[in-house]
Amino acid sequence: MSAQGRCNCGKFAFEVPPLQGIAICHCKPCTRAGGSIGSFNAVIPADGITFTKGSLKELGNYQDTETSSGNPMARHFCGSCGSAIISIPKGSPIGFFKVSSLDDAQAYIGKDRKPDQVIFQNSAPDFVKKLDWGEGVKTASEA
């Protein structure tokens, strides 16, 4: 199922393709970029966003070279309101789309869907480390 979303100020609007997976990252750069205890991402093709307002080239971006994995990450965001949209690892065919920018994240993800990966779990707050993600969810202290 595809889904629609936008940045907080509405300068950018887009449609994303069906998700390939869900990844929650607790590395310091992702928590800083997302302004939260982790980054909740839909794994999609790096070129999978279709913009209905604005374009990828118009988004603000920076090359994060201080990632916990050591692989540089292009972080794209709205330059007006600061909403994070997608992060794309250098040379990767996949992107980590920020689920928080969707109009209806629950419908896109599915009611009972669990994350496929929880990475850099050792960097998460203690209450998150104690969560039981259930069977089949890969957790890693490092990526």
| Distance from chain centroid for Cα 21 | 11
By residue range, what is the domain housing residue 74? 3-140
Give 6 or 1, the one with higher predicted confidence.
6
Q: How far is CA 28 from CA 35, 66, 76, in A?
A: 10, 9, 17
Q: What percent of the chain has pLDDT over 70?
A: 94
Q: How many domains does the chain have?
A: 1
Look at residue 66 in the predicted model and tell me its pLDDT: 87
Q: What is the CATH number of the domain that holds 66?
A: 2.170.150.70
- Please compute the mean of the pLDDT values over residues 80-85 and round it to a whole number: 95
* Average of per-residue pLDDT values in the chain: 89
Sheet strands side by side (includes 13-16): 3-6, 13-16, 50-53
The residue assigned the tokens 């994070």 is 84
Residue 142 pLDDT > 60: no
d(CA 109, CA 100): 11
Question: What is the pTM assigned to this prediction?
Answer: 0.85
Q: What is the dihedral of CA 95, 98, 104, 108, to 10 degrees?
A: 30
Tell me which residue of 80, 85, 98 sits closest to 56, measured CA to CA.
85
Q: What is the pLDDT of residues 58-70, one digit of tens each?
A: 999 999 998 878 8
How many other C-beta atoms can be found within 10 angstroms of the C-beta atom of residue 39?
25
pLDDT at 140 (0 to 100)? 64
Q: What are phi and psi of 6, to 5 degrees?
A: -160, 165
Query: Is the model's pLDDT at 85 over the cut of 60?
Result: yes
